[in-house]
Amino acid sequence: MEKWKKIKGYQNYEVSDFGNIRNSRGLVMKQRTTYRGYKEIGLRNGKVQKFHLVHRLVAQAFLEEIPSKNYVNHIDGNKTNNSVENLEWVTQSENKKHAVRTGLQPITEEVIKTLKDNAIKKRKSIRVVNTKLGIDKTFPSIAEASKHIDCNEKTLRNVLKGRNKSRLGYEVTYL
């Protein structure tokens, strides 16, 4: 059964988990397709009309927002399938990777540069200290540090998140 929720900031409209929009009289409104293939809808607040992407309205109403993830991805790659089951919050990098993987975006030099730049921005330097062995080294990434102390990256991430105190006598911190 279709579920409806009020659209934040628009008292006269509701969005459904199927991707439909209806007005205060209960009439399902017609959506238009943008030049990029997404569905959008014009909503009025008083006399001012503003167009909104339908998939973002569905995600904002039905999916818990994740602060670090500002993009809404269509899981099946179909930009017109705005059902809540087909949507997820992602980062810009995750969105680009998905678009390339599903063939929605061809791999260009610009795409490769964006993916590399995002990976570099996310990378944090790691300091590894073992006082017993007299080691105090800095590494550009978790991957490099994990190779040096011979443990897997997931274990090292758990140490950095505080889930484990140390690994094999090494204290590990972000710089």
Residue 135 falls within a domain, yes or no? yes
Number of domains in the chain: 2
Looking at 21, 42, 65, which one is the last position of a domain?
Answer: 65
Domain annotation covers residue 94: no
Residue 100 lies inside a defined structural domain of this protein: no
Give pLDDT, residue 167.
62
Query: Which pLDDT score is estimated for 155?
Result: 83
Average pLDDT, whole number, for the chain?
89
So what's the pLDDT on residue 96? 85
Of the candidates 65, 95, 111, which is a domain's last residue?
65
The confidence score (pLDDT) of residue 124 equals: 80
Decide if 22 is inside a domain: yes
- Residue 87 domain flag: no
Residue 110 domain flag: no
The predicted pLDDT at position 125 comes to 86
Return the SS3 of 1. Answer: coil
Pair of tokens at residue 143:
């991957």
All residues at 6 or more sequence positions from 46 whose CB lies less than 8 Å from its CB, including other chains: none
Q: Is residue 75 part of a domain?
A: no
What is the CATH classification number for the domain harbouring 11?
3.90.75.20
The token pair that represents 69 in the structure block? 């993830």
pTM: 0.62
**Distance separating alpha carbons of residues 159 and 152, to the nearest angstrom:** 11
Domain residues for 31?
4-65
- pLDDT under 50: residue ranges of the chain: none
Q: What whole-number distance in Å separates Cα of residue 147 and Cα of residue 96?
A: 28
Res 158: pLDDT: 83
Q: Which helix (H) or strand (E) holds 53?
A: strand 48-53
Does residue 33 form part of some domain?
yes
pLDDT at 146: 84
pLDDT score at 126: 87
In eight-state DSSP terms, residue 77 is S
Closest CA to 95 of 142, 140, 51, 56: 56
* Predicted pLDDT of residue 175: 81
